[in-house]
Amino acid sequence: MSGYRYNNEKINDDRILWAELIGGDKAALGQLFDLYVSELLSYGYRICRDTELAKDAIQDVFIDLWMYRSNLSKDVQVKYYLYRCLRNALLKQIDNAQVSAFGIQEADSLEDPDASPESQWLATESDTRRHSQIARVLENLSDREKEVISLKYYSDMKIRQIASLLNLKEQTVANTLQNALVKLRKHLVYLLVMLLSSY
C-alpha cells in the first residue's frame, strides 16, 4: 500500500522541469517521469483495472509530451495536465475495448451482489482478511465515486481541479464526494461495531 505524498517542493520543481522540457531538454522529461510515474500508475490502474494498459498509456503520454513539446503551454498545472492526458489516453483505449471504467458509466459490475455490510464483516477472522474486507468496502462505491475519492485523498486535488478533469460541475463533484462519504460511513459504523464486539 503506497502512502500519501505531500511534496510541496514538487510543485515548484515541476514548473521548472516543464519549462526545460518545452525548451527541448530530454533530461527534464526523465525527471518529470520519475516524479509522477507512480501516482499516474495508481490513477491509471484505478481507471481501467489493467496494469499493462495503464503502463502503455503512461508511456504514450510521455512520448507525446516530447513529440509535441513545442505546442505545450508554459502555464499549466503540470500534475493536473498529466492526469488529464492519461485519462484521455485511457478513455480512448477503453472506449475501443468497451471496458467499463470510472466515469464512463456508473457501473456497478464490480460490486459483489451479496456485499451487504453484514456479509462483509461477519467473517472478520484475521488481519489480512480484515484488510481485504476494508478494501471491499470501497468497492461499494460507484466507479465515479471511487475516482473522486482517489483524486481527493490520494492525489490531493481540489474540487475545482477534479471537476475540470472529469468535465463535471464543481457542485456535482462535491455531491458525489458527499454521497460517497455517507456510504462509506455506513459501512464504517458497521465495521467499528464488529471490531468492538470482537474484543
Partner 1 sequence: MQDYTNYTPEDFAQDDDFIQWVKSPEIERETFWQNWQETYPFKRNDIELARQLVLLTRHLPEPNVSGEEIRAMKSEVFRKIEELDTPEETGFRQLPVWRWASAAAVTGVLLLAGWYMFLYQSGTSPVYQEMVSKASEEYKLIEIENSDHSPKLINLPDGSSVLLKKGSRLSYPNHFKKELREIYLTGEGFFEVAKDPERPFYVFANEMVTKVLGTSFTVKAYSEDKQVFVKVKTGKVSVFQSGTVEGKENFNTKELRGLVLNPNQEATFEEGKVVAGKQQDKKQDTATDPQIQDMMFEYEEVTVGEIFAQLEKAYRIRIVYDKTVMEKCPVTASLTDEPLSSKLSLICKAVRSDYEISNGEVIIRGRGCD
CA pair distance 57, 115, nearest whole angstrom? 32
CB of 29 to partner 1, least distance (A): 8
CB of 146 to partner 1, least distance (A): 7
CA pair distance 2, 53, nearest whole angstrom? 20
42 counts as binding partner 1 under rule CB under 8 A = yes
CA pair distance 82, 126, nearest whole angstrom? 39
CB of 96 to partner 1, least distance (A): 21
Q: Which stretch binds partner 1 (CB under 8 A): 11-19, 74-82, 112-120, 188-196?
A: 188-196
**Those residues with Cβ within 8 angstroms of residue 10's Cβ, 6 or more apart along the chain or in another chain:** 35, 79
Q: Which helix (H) or strand (E) holds 168?
A: none
* 100: region left, alpha or beta (phi > 0 left; psi from -120 to 50 alpha): beta
CA pair distance 151, 157, nearest whole angstrom? 6
Q: How far apart are the first and last CA of the chain?
A: 26
Nearer to partner 1, 75 or 81 (CB): 81
Nearer to partner 1, 6 or 75 (CB): 6
In the range 112-171, which residues lie near partner 1 by CB under 8 A?
Answer: 131, 134-135, 137-138, 146, 149-150, 152-154
Q: What residues make contact with partner 1 under the rule CB under 8 A?
A: 1-4, 6, 26, 29-30, 33-34, 37-38, 41-42, 44-46, 49, 51, 54-55, 58-59, 62-63, 66-67, 131, 134-135, 137-138, 146, 149-150, 152-154, 177-178, 181-182, 184-185, 188-189, 192
